[in-house]
């Protein structure tokens, strides 16, 4: 077994979800198809260069495209997170939020104009960068993310990322959506974000910017209290990005369509949850 392929234990967790197609020739081995997609994620190569051990490249590409369109990849992390939360490793004490910038390859340009998933729309007006906004738990495992243009401010995506955190319980009850505390850097220091967390009953460990500190001093107000012990754990999100960018297809964007790149980011996040 090669390092980019699924282990027997990991495949047992996700096996029920990639459903076989209702029409067309049935796939002999869905695990082989998923391993082929993971090879593309790891290497960043084109599907036409897929090794013969994974079967016809067109079959792998069609399954990847179909599962990207019908939401199969979006259901996989929720299923794996639910399985992991039942075992107990999800750390809800601290959730760290941050973003990273990805530079698209020249092959990511040239999509048809007007398409809702074209690369230019998610790369911004300069068509140079894509940004991944991500929230991870205290162990550095991704909980939710969004993809925007590279020129989008981090704080504008904070509520969208937090709203996507939802880990279902194995038994009765609503999915868990609220951590104990959110840790973020100065880019997320705003009154709107602090009020949003206060309304949801979530503690904030966000360092203030120097201009905000000076403004509070001029107005005679006290500074926001910072839990330094919790703030020192913020580097787990940086380590999470480091692990995700070991996948070359994620570190450099080669896909023209946003939904295809989003599917690869989802798969990279999924790999950090699987045993």
Tens of pLDDT, residues 85-134 = 655 678 899 999 999 999 988 877 766 655 444 444 444 433 578 999 99
* 141 closest CA partner among 81, 100, 69: 81
Q: Can you give the length of the chain in residues?
A: 275
Task: List, in order of start, the domains of the chain with CATH numbers.
Answer: 91-254 (3.30.420)
Q: What is the CB neighbour count within 10 angstroms for residue 42?
A: 20
Strand residue runs (E) in 2-119 = 95-104
What pLDDT, on the 0 to 100 scale, is given for residue 19? 62
Judge whether 140 and 237 are in contact, CB under 8 Å.
yes
Taking residues 46-73, report their average pLDDT: 90
Whether 21 shows a pLDDT value over 60: the answer reads no
What angle in degrees, to the nearest 10, is found between the helix axes of 57-69 and 30-43? 90
pTM of the model: 0.87
Q: What share of the chain is helix, strand, coil (3-state, %, to 5)?
A: 50, 15, 40
What are the CA-CA distances from residue 203 to residues 49, 184, 191, 197, 227 (Å)?
49, 11, 14, 7, 10
Q: Is the pLDDT of residue 243 over 90?
A: yes
């Amino acid at each position: 077994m090669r390092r980019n392929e699924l282990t027997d234990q990991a495949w047992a967790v996700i096996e029920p979800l990639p459903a076989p197609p209702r029409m067309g020739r049935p796939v002999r081995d869905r695990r082989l198809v998923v391993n082929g997609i993971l090879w593309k994620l790891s290497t960043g190569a084109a599907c036409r260069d897929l090794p013969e051990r994974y079967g016809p490249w067109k079959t792998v590409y069609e399954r990847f495209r179909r599962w990207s369109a019908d939401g199969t990849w979006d259901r996989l992390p929720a299923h794996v997170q639910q399985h992991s939360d039942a075992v107990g490793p999800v750390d809800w004490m601290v959730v760290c939020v941050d973003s990273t910038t990805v530079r698209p390859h020249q092959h990511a340009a040239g999509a048809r104009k007007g398409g809702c998933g074209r690369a230019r729309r998610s790369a911004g007006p300069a068509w140079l960068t894509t940004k991944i906004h991500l929230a991870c738990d205290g162990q550095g495992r991704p909980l939710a993310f969004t993809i925007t243009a590279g020129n989008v401010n981090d704080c504008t995506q904070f509520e969208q990322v937090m709203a996507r955190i939802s880990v279902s319980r194995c038994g009765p009850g609503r999915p868990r959506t609220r951590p104990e505390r959110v840790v973020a850097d100065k880019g997320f220091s705003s009154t709107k974000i602090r009020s949003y967390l206060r309304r949801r009953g979530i503690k904030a460990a966000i360092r203030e910017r120097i201009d905000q500190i000076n403004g509070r001093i001029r107005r005679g107000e006290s500074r926001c209290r910072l839990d330094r012990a919790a703030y020192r754990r913020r580097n787990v999100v940086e380590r999470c990005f480091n692990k995700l960018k070991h996948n070359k297809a994620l570190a450099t964007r080669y896909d023209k369509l946003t939904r295809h790149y989003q599917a690869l980011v989802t798969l990279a996040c999924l790999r950090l949850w699987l045993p």
